[in-house]
Every structure is written in C-alpha cells, then in structure tokens.
Chain A
Amino acid sequence: MRSISRREALQTTANGFGWLAFCALARGRTLAVGSPLAVKPAHFPPRARRVIFLCMAGGPSHVDLFDHKPRLHADTGREAPPGTMGNGTGRFVLNGSPWKFARHGDGGMWMSELLPGIARHADDICLINSMQTDQPAHPQAVLQLHTGVTQFVRPSMGAWLQYGIGTENENLPGFISIAPSAQNGGARNYSSAFLPAICQGTVISGDTDAGMADIRNARRTRDEQRAQLDFIQRLNASRLRKDVVNPEIEGVIESAELAFKMQREAPLVMDLARESEATRRLYGIGEKVTDSFGRQCLLARKLVETGVRFVQLTHGDWDHHRQLAAGLTKNCASMDRPVAGLLADLKGRGLLEDTLVIWGGEFGRTPHSQGNDGRDHNGRGFTMWMAGGGVKGGLTYGRTDDYGYAAVESPMHIHDWHATVLYLLGIDHERLVFHHAGRDFRLTDGHGSVAKSVLA
C-alpha cells in the first residue's frame, strides 16, 4: 500500500522533481517525497559536483602568501604615492613581504615560502589575485562572502546549493559546516534564511570526536532502538492506513529511518581512526601543529566522498594587525600541510576532478604597514584560490597594482566569484532564484558575472 501511495504522490508532485525522486527511490535510497533536497537537474552540465570551502577567517595577507610584488619589496620603507591608498589622504609606509617568493609548477605560479605544501599543487590551483569585496570590515565582509550581501538576512551559498541541486546522499545532511565561527554573523553564514529550512547547514563541532547533534543514543543499544523504531513505525503506518495519500506522514516515516541510518553512517564517516596511518600522516594528524585542522580536512574529504554537497571548514584567525611575522608563520604551519594533504588525497582518489576546493578569507591585507609589524584590512584587491572541480589549474587570474593594493586587471568581486562557483556546479546564478516577500532573490543579488576564463 505504501509504495503505491508514494508513487501516486510522486506522479502528482507539481514541482517536477517527482520523477527524479522516484528514480532515487528505485535505486534504493530513501528520499522524502518532494523533498527540497531531491537531486535536481542542473542548468547545464556541472563541472563540479561538490564543494569544500576552506574559509580563512580574518583576512589572510595576500601580499605575503600569493601576490608577489617586487616593486613593493623594492619600495619598502617609502611612502605610497599620495592618494593611492586608504581614503586618499593618509600617509602609508610601504612594507614588502619579508618572505621569499618562488615560481611553482608548469605554470610558474608565484607563492611564498610559507606555503611549501600547497605550492606543490600549483598546477591544480587557479589563483585569483584580483578579488574584491565591498566593505573591509569583518562582519560585513564575512557575510558578503557567505551570503552575497552585508545588510540583509539572506541564505548562505551552501544553502543555495542545497536548494539548487539537492543532495547526493540522503543518509547525511547535504550542507555541513565544521566549526563555524559564532562571530561576524554566526549562524547567518550557514543559514537558509527564507529557503526551505532543510537547506541550512548542519554544524559539526571542530572537535571531530564530538560529532553531530543528537547523533548518539546514550541509553539504548542499536537493537533496542530498532525495536523502538519498529513500534513507532507501526503506529505511523496505522495512521497511514487511514489515509491513502499522505506524503507528510510518509515523510515522517522516511526521515525517521534516515535518522536511524545516519546514526550508523555519520559516526562511521566521522571516525577518522579508520583511515590508514599514511592517510592520516598526509594531513598532519598526530602532529601538534597540524592535528586539529588536519582532522577537519580529512573529515571534509570523507564527507564529500559519501556525497555531501557542500562542506565548509573555518581556519583562523588571520587578522594580523600586529605580530604579522609570528602570526602568519604559525597559521600557515597549521594550515599548509592539511590543505596540501587534502588536495593530494582528493587527487589520489579521483575526487579532485569533480570536487571544487576553495581557499580564501573575507578580504586581504594592506601592502602598507600598520604599526611595526602588521597590516590592515584591504578589500580592494586580495587573493583566493580554487582547485579541481573544473577550474583551470596553473592559471593566475587577475592582477593587483604594483603594490598589491587594488585589483587593476580582471577584478573579481565576491558576486562574480559566487556566480563562477555556481556555474562550476552547473547553475546559472541568474536562474537560481527564490520567490520571497514579493520578489525573486538570488545569491548574487542583481550582480555578478561568470569568469569564464578560469574554467578548464
């Protein structure tokens, strides 16, 4: 009786996902009828199927990491030409990077000595040196990075993706944010806002042992739980018998089964001890400096491997107003090896070609110094990079001026970046809209153009 009613409901589903949902069911996957997370057709063939966003909170210094500026180095200690920086009136002392830069890979991509691990993957990386954001203040820029806008309550990029293309693994949430910051918008950065609530990010604590909320039953064995669930499902089915068509109760039934399965699958996915020693070493797990972020990177790989659509990791703090030398060294040491390990691991498993790895923060930093040993916020030109997932490896895209202050060639605003990321996932940013409060909304909010030249 259940399967008939479900089929009938699918046939009558007006939103057109019915057939796909049915196919998923036919393949033996659980999927609530008309679920907002059902796999949906892309606007065009996707180059990437999933995303790992390595969010570097605080604004990493692009001029010390990726944006090589010999002229800045040469002019260290001099004042920037009048009117070129800040609001045009202040005096700014230029400060070249104290770190050495070298070319890497076949494309000769410049990177600083702080990133030896990532540098080895230069030929898989598309470096974007011309990023721009609207306001160089943390809260606004972080919100813009995640939701496209600074002022209003809008869905996060991961939620848009959930809404746009659904999830590939109904045994796990499709959008997971590992250890997000509670600051600078907090939950806003993984929220679904007006999109269906199910599109929002599920938070996993940075302590990879803690896992997902309520995922463990502390008081019953699996068999006991199964017996209990069987009883619950008998009651549910009894209700269903009274109603020939009742997709909502079917939804309850299926989500309860999924939860039961998640209890098994999520801890398995999250159990890093099952990975080989070599893999763990690749990520720097077990070494003090890299252990924490290494675990998170490995977890990200495991999650995307099982079909989770969007995984975000947050690493920080990169807000080096002072003690730049020490701070940047420390941050890079804890980040470089895990990220390099992630790229290598994804590649080794054939996952990199359709997994988009994104690295970047809400803005970059000024080429002039702040205090003795620091740099201020800079949103007019900074660096992010993308790897795998259909981007052109080895390409350095865009350029800042000779001091690394403002993007002067192929500027890529956050809106453009969002448009490009969506494009890589097969989504037209102008067509992924949601009608709310009287108008259509989209991630790029009336802006954005796809940077076609970064596509492989």
Chain B
Amino acid sequence: MKPTAPVLAAIFIATARLVHGAAEAASQAAIAPDQLAFFEKNIRPVLVQQCYKCHSAEASKVKGGLTLDTKHGLRLGGESGQPGVTPGKLAESSIWEAILWEDDDKKMPPKQKLPAEVIANFKKWIEMGAPDPRETKVAAAGGGKRVIDMDQGRKHWAFQKPVKKAPPEVKTEGWARTDIDRFILAGMEANGLHPVKDADRPTLIRRIAFDLTGLPPTPDDVKAFVADQSPDAVKRVIDMYLDSDRYGEKWARHWLDVARYAESSGKEVNVLYPEAWRYRDYVIESFEKDKPYDLFLKEQIAGDLLQFDDKRDQAQKIVATGFLAIGAKGHNNRDKRQFIMDMVDEQIDAMSQSMLGLTLACARCHDHKFDPVAQRDYYALAGIFLSSDTLFGTYKGVQNNNTSTLIDLGREAAQPAALAKISSAEFAALKRKYEEADKAAREAESEVRSMRTKERDKAGVSAFLRIRGTLDRAETVRADLDQFYEDGTPRALAMGVLDRDRPIDSPILVRGDIKQPAEVVPRGLVEVLCAKGEPLNISRGSGRLDLAYWIASKDNPLTARVMANRVWLKLMGSGIVPTPDNFGFMGQKPTHPELLDHLAVTFMENGWSVKKLIRSIMMSRAYQSGSAHDAANYAVDPDNKFHWRMNQRRLDAEAIRDAMLAVSGALNLYPVDGSPVARAGEGREGLTALYREVSSKPLTCRSIFLPIVRDQIPEFLSVFDFPDASLVNGDRDTTNVSSQSLFLMNNSQAQGAADAFAARIAKMEGAPLDKLKAAYMLAFSRNPTDAELTAIRNFWNKFPDQAAQSGTPKDKVQYAALSAFCQSLMASAEFRYLN
C-alpha cells in the first residue's frame, strides 16, 4: 500500500503552535511590590536551586538550549521553539508542562517532581503575568538559541561562486605542461618543494588503465605504449581507455559510492530491492556516454518531470530518480509518519552530501550546529520530498509494514529485463496459485474474526501467526505474479519518485519529533546558498524540478566544485578539499582553492563533461609524476599535500577482484542481465535463494555487477574496504589487515583465480622461466628486476621439491608450484597498489 494522504496529513494537521519571540515580553512597567516579593520568595529560589545547574549561562552545558536565569531566556524558551513562560497562559508555558511531570519525555526537574505547593506557586505566578525582575541579557552560552546570520554565512569560501583566475607565474621552467601544472608547481615553489621524476612508461600506462577502466593494461598495450615515442602517445592511450566500455563500469562505481547504492533496505529488516539494478545500469550508461553532469543530476532528482525524447528516454529518466528511492529504510517501522520522515531525511542527507557536499540533514532536529543552515531550510526541503511519492516497492510481511508500488515503465520503453519470459500458461498457473493463497489468507482471517472473544484469547498468538503466515505466503506469490504481463512477458518495473497530486508544506518538527509539529514552512531552497533577496520558494508541483535546476546550475557555488574535487580525488589520491562530502564549515579547506575553482569553472565551460575533466587532469604533468620518495620534499610535506609526487594508491576492492579475474583469463566482460537480487524473489526466502545462488558458483562478472545487499557485501569486496552501502562515501578507507592476507591465501575464490592464472600460463610457449616472466608482465605490467628474477628462480627451484616432499603427486608438482607462484603475485603488495 502506498503511504496515503491521511498519513501525511496527520503530520501537518495538529497543533501547529507558532513560535513566539521575546518581543512579547510583558509590560515594562515596574513590578508591583507584592508580585516582586512573591517572585523572590517562591520562584527565584526554586529556579536557582532546581534549574540553574543545567539552564543558566553559568551551566557547564546548557541543556536543550534553554536558559532560565534571565527573564529573556525564560520567556524565549529553548531549542523546542516553545516559550518557556507566556505570561498569563499556562498552556503556552513549556516549563509548566515540564514541572507537571505528565509527559514522559518532558519531566523537570528530571530527578524528582517538585512538591505540590511549589507547583501551585508557579501556576499562580504565571497566571499573575510572570513578573520577573531579572532583566540582564542572555549570555551566549553554548546551547542558547541560535540566530543564524545568513550574510555572514554566505562569506564561507565554498558558498561563493567559483571564479576562474589566470594560472600563477612559476619560476621553474619547462616542467609545467598544462594550467593545472602551473597551479601545482606554484604551490610547490611557495613551499620550497620540487617535482620528482616523471613516472616511467609501464608505470604510467598501468596507472591510466586502472584509473579509467579498473583493469590492468594488457601486455600488448604496455608494449605498444612503451614503443610509442610520439608526443601524443599519452593522449592516445587516455582516449583509448576513455572510449572503452570498461570506463563506464569503473566510473559508475565511484558515483554509486556517493549514491549509497544497494539492492536492499538494510537497517533492522533487510528487505530486498529487486529493481535497484536499473539505477546502477543507468549510472554506467551515463558515464559511458559522458552525459553532461548537470543533466545527470537533474535526472536523478527530477527525471520524471523533465522533457523526454521518446518512451525509452522517459523510462531512463524515471529510473534515474531511483537515486532517491534506494536509500536504507526501516521497513518494520509501525509508525508510517515516522517511516516517511526518516525516508525524507535519508533523501535530504544523500542528496546534499553527494551533490552539494553539505550535511543538511544535521538541521533535522535543530539549526545546523556548524553551518548556516536553519531548521527552517531543512523543512523547506522536506516539503519538497513529502510532496513527492517515493516508490520503492516490496511486499507486506511479518516485519515489513511499509511498502509501495513500483513504476511500470511500459512495454514500449524497451527496457532490459532481469527475468526470462514465461509462457501464458505458466502465468495462468501463477495467477491461480495467487488466488488460492489469497483465498486461504482471507479464510484464516475471517475464521479468527468470527471467533468469540473468549475463543480468540484461547487461540491467542497461534491464531495470529496463522493469519500472518497465510498473508505472507499470498504476498510472496503476488510478488512473483507482479513481475509479468498476462502473456508472460516480464514487466519493466522501476524504483523511483513521482510527484503527488497535491503538494504540501512541512511544519518544522521540534527536535525532529513527529509529535511536535510547529510552524509550517513553505517548500523551498537553502537560503545561504541563494543570493540575498533571491526568491527561495517553489514555482510549481512538488518543487523537485526547481530543486534539480537549482542544484545543477552554474550559479550554485558548490555543485561543480564538489564534482571536480571528487574526480581529482579519485585520480590524484587525495582531494583538493580533503573532505569530499563536506564543504561546510566543518569540512577541511582546499589546499589549492584557485586550482579547484579553475577545474570547476572549466568543467562547466566544457558542458559539464566528466570525460573532459578527467582528460585534463590526466594530461597534467602532476598526474604523470613518479611516486618516488624524496627526502627533502618529505621533510617539508610528508602528506604530499602539494603533489610533489604521485600518491601511491591501493586499488579498490572491485579493481583487485577484477584484476585477479582478468590476469587469470576468467573475467567475463559480458554485462550481467539485471541482478541475482532480481531473480531471488521476495522476503526471507529471497535472501536465502540469493545466498544459495551466489555461494554455489562464484560469479566471474565485473565486480560492479555483483549483488550489493546491505550488510551482506560479498566477502571479496568487504575484505578490501568496500564502504558501508548505507552511507554517502566519497573517499574509501584503505586498510591493510590480516583478513585480506588470509583471504588472498586461503579463500577458495583466490585459490581458484590462482589456478586459472596458472592454467593460462601453463599453456604458453617457452621455457619455464619465460612463462614466469610472462605471468609477471600480466600481473604487474612490467618485467622483473634482476633481484626479483633471483627470487623467482629460488622459489621455482625450491617449491616443487617441497611440494613433492609434503606428498603432492609427482605429476601435480609443477602445476602446484605454478599455482603457488601465480597466487603469490596476486597476494603481493604490488598487485594491489598503483605507483
């Protein structure tokens, strides 16, 4: 069932109490002496003794942003947005509510309820107009109510539009090749650093191949590149890989990291999302075709509302909005309002971190603690997503209380299918099966309903479980049935977002609590990112289209910068802004602000072409530098902040796996149809079926096509730091832990790859040592050094004997040694590091 309008309405109807400011202070006239005496005798001592410890400017930590040591603070109230005391109005005095101890969440003082006579005194005092002589202004204690100065906020470097400046003059002649180099070299010169030697040709092609395709270069490619001395050899190689289909499969994965892509709900109950793969394929195609990045973003936020060329184009644009639907969700939540607000929060969080490099979701419960983002900004955005219908699918079940339909893309959309066609007879059988299951469920229900109370109590939990069981069974069959049209053709269903018929604005929820709606704010954009006086509000519909155009705009100071920084980080090993998902006040400052602006503005000038951005970085001498150590440079800049050398980088989990399969000749480059998740089926049984499919035969497809079920990431990926698929992640961890070693040495997949590699080598022509050298070239894209040759010889002379001694049959000894050799190459540091 879709979340219906009444559910949403419940969030909004309710006592939307408006926030009153201190302006409403009572008359300034002198307080009557008897009233003053009453305050001094009955109220002030209680406040001092019972409240000041946590609610005064002197408190070590002001709780709830509420200070009670001045009249101003008391009347203004705390973060809840409700006045502490409204003269004459008990109902509008939050401290009255608190001292009554009626609401479990709001009991003050927390340890013990005040005596009845003290409470009575407060009542009397508030009713007499809360006379209060304490006129001193509130000191700005840690948690006092924060008023955001947006003008001041706009001065933050990242909130100002990027401006392209001329590259700086440099002293060192002949090193800089591109504008990027001039920015980098100037930074080095200013810090007394010097560039190191360029990378040699084999190192460079390996770097370029992995960076663009996630795969090692073939020995032929290495040979051709080393031989090609023409000036544009590097450019040719870059273009060759940029044009390869493998490029999209590599770069899409970078975006999937920040889009927290996964094929299940994660969280408490891990419900499968069988149609999530469509979004993955959309991202691959977008990178492959070099879709302008601004359009790429617009489609993900509001693809359903954009103009389209034909049915296929429309379908693709709808699939793009899957970005908003694939986030982690708590399907078992019984409170639909809570479920929806959590989903909206997740959408705001993913969108703002991935596209804007901002943590807007921090403003859900209070104004952002660090950035100039008000809670009002958050709920203005929340209104946009509340006015949109997020369609994520799934079926009702014992732990799934939140389901929706999916979007039928239609036959004419010519979309791929994960399932094979079935015959119309099979469809009819499936339909009958569903009707029977449905009937059984209804019967179980009516049987229990017709019981008398006494009988029902007696039947108790078992009756409930029986109904539940039959219902679940019916839903599981319905899930299968929904996959097909009557003629047995699989339906193309997609996760995504559509506009609701009637947009709605969201109230601010005090402390993010759905039970505490306050002022309703119109749907809108983030104030600090808009020029002063610019309209923030929405022109039509949910506002997603406005939002999409506003984000994917040359006027947005963050969008191009954030992406340029992401691309730089992936190619150079560290971001110009080291915190790629946070450009706010708590993010780190850019090491090269002018270079970042140069990249961002050029990116936009080049029609938001990601390929052009990549090419420009790769063509720089900075990218083509060697990674050698240099003692003098190291002493000044050990972290290589100024890029005096290329960072040594560990390969991503996907690249390690793909490279192992590639060198062993086992990699299947044919793209996968859909996903094993799509074929697994619904519910718990689906998870089990998936596990069976994946563990029964190791998949040999590229890693991007492996099933990504939250919290059940394939071991091959998780062991090499695959990120948490529930979180936006622009910069993966790279750890060196023993479980990786254990995996590479002992896991059957690693051993299988070694065997395949060995079999490939064994078939080659030539003397044993030539074969070993060929394996070396496949694994490392270079020939072994003399010292390494000695090591290889030693191993080759010793290991077969050792294997024979420990009982390996004579005819298997050579093969065992070859397999051990190949595995050693894959388990060595060089295999998983780029120089």
Contacts and interface: CB of A to CB of B under 8 A. Distances in A.
Contact of B629 (A184, A244, A258, A263): A244
Of the candidates A196, A215, A218, A232, the one having the most CB atoms from chain B within 10 angstroms of its own CB is A232
Contacts of B748: 218
Contacts of B727: 153, 193-194, 437
B582 A438 contact: yes
B746 interface: yes
B91 interface: no
A251 B828 contact: no
Contact of B370 (A194, A371, A438): A438
A153 B721 CA distance: 17
A37 to B, nearest CB: 9
A220 B820 contact: yes
A407 B595 CA distance: 60
A320 to B, nearest CB: 11
Contact of B788 (A194, A238, A321, A438): A238
A: contact size bracket: 35 or more
B268 A143 contact: yes
Contacts of B461: 321-322, 370-371, 374
Contacts of A275: none
B476 to A, nearest CB: 18
A235 interface: yes
Contacts of A193: 724, 727
Nearest to A250: B736
Contact of A258 (B631, B738, B745, B746): B738
Interface string A167-179: 0000001000000
Contact of B724 (A32, A143, A194, A216): A194
Contacts of A186: 270, 711-712
Given A188-B711, A217-B746, A249-B829, A228 B267 contact: no
A139 B332 contact: yes
Nearest to B801: A227
B628 A262 contact: no
A219 interface: yes
A213 B750 CA distance: 13
A253 interface: yes
A236 B829 contact: yes
A427 B727 CA distance: 27
B824 A235 contact: yes
A173 B738 CA distance: 9
Nearest to A194: B727
B460 interface: yes
B746 A245 contact: no
Interface in B634-664: 634, 638, 648, 650
A235 B648 contact: no
Interface string A252-271: 11111011101100000000
A244 B746 contact: no
Contacts of B359: 437-439
Given A371-B457, A437-B359, A439-B362, A255 B736 contact: yes
Contacts of B803: 224
Contacts of A329: none
Of the candidates B460, B586, B726, B741, the one having the most CB atoms from chain A within 10 angstroms of its own CB is B741
Contacts of A216: 746
A320 B798 CA distance: 62
B67 interface: no
A130 B734 CA distance: 43
Given A224-B802, A255-B738, A244 B733 contact: no
A234 interface: yes
Contact of B791 (A234, A253, A255, A371): A234
A244 B728 CA distance: 36
A213 B745 contact: no
Of the candidates A218, A252, A374, the one having the most CB atoms from chain B within 10 angstroms of its own CB is A252
A215 B747 CA distance: 9
Contacts of A183: 269
B795 interface: yes
Nearest to A380: B104
Contact of A238 (B342, B721, B751, B785): B785
Interface in A109-154: 137-140, 143, 151, 153
A66 to B, nearest CB: 24
A276 interface: no
Interface string A222-252: 0111011101101110110111111011011
Contact of A202 (B328, B739, B806): B739
Contacts of B802: 223-224, 227
Nearest to B819: A219
B370 A139 contact: no
Nearest to B791: A234
Contacts of A438: 359, 362, 370-371, 582, 584, 586-587
B827 A437 contact: no
B376 to A, nearest CB: 19
Contacts of B629: 243-246
Contact of B742 (A140, A232, A263): A263
B695 interface: no
Interface string A33-56: 000100000000000000000000
Contacts of B235: none
Given A249-B833, A371-B461, A259 B741 contact: yes
A11 B303 CA distance: 53
Given A194-B727, A437-B353, A239 B829 contact: yes
A187 interface: yes
18 contacts: A36-B735, A153-B724, A153-B727, A173-B739, A186-B270, A186-B711, A194-B724, A196-B735, A213-B739, A214-B739, A215-B742, A223-B806, A227-B799, A231-B821, A235-B788, A239-B833, A245-B629, A259-B740
Q: Which 7 A-B pairs have the closest CB atoms?
A: A139-B268, A259-B741, A251-B736, A438-B359, A259-B738, A371-B460, A187-B711
Interface of A: 12, 32, 36, 137-140, 143, 151, 153, 173, 183-188, 191, 193-194, 196-198, 202, 212-221, 223-225, 227-229, 231-232, 234-236, 238-239, 241-246, 248-249, 251-256, 258-260, 262-263, 321-322, 370-372, 374, 435, 437-439
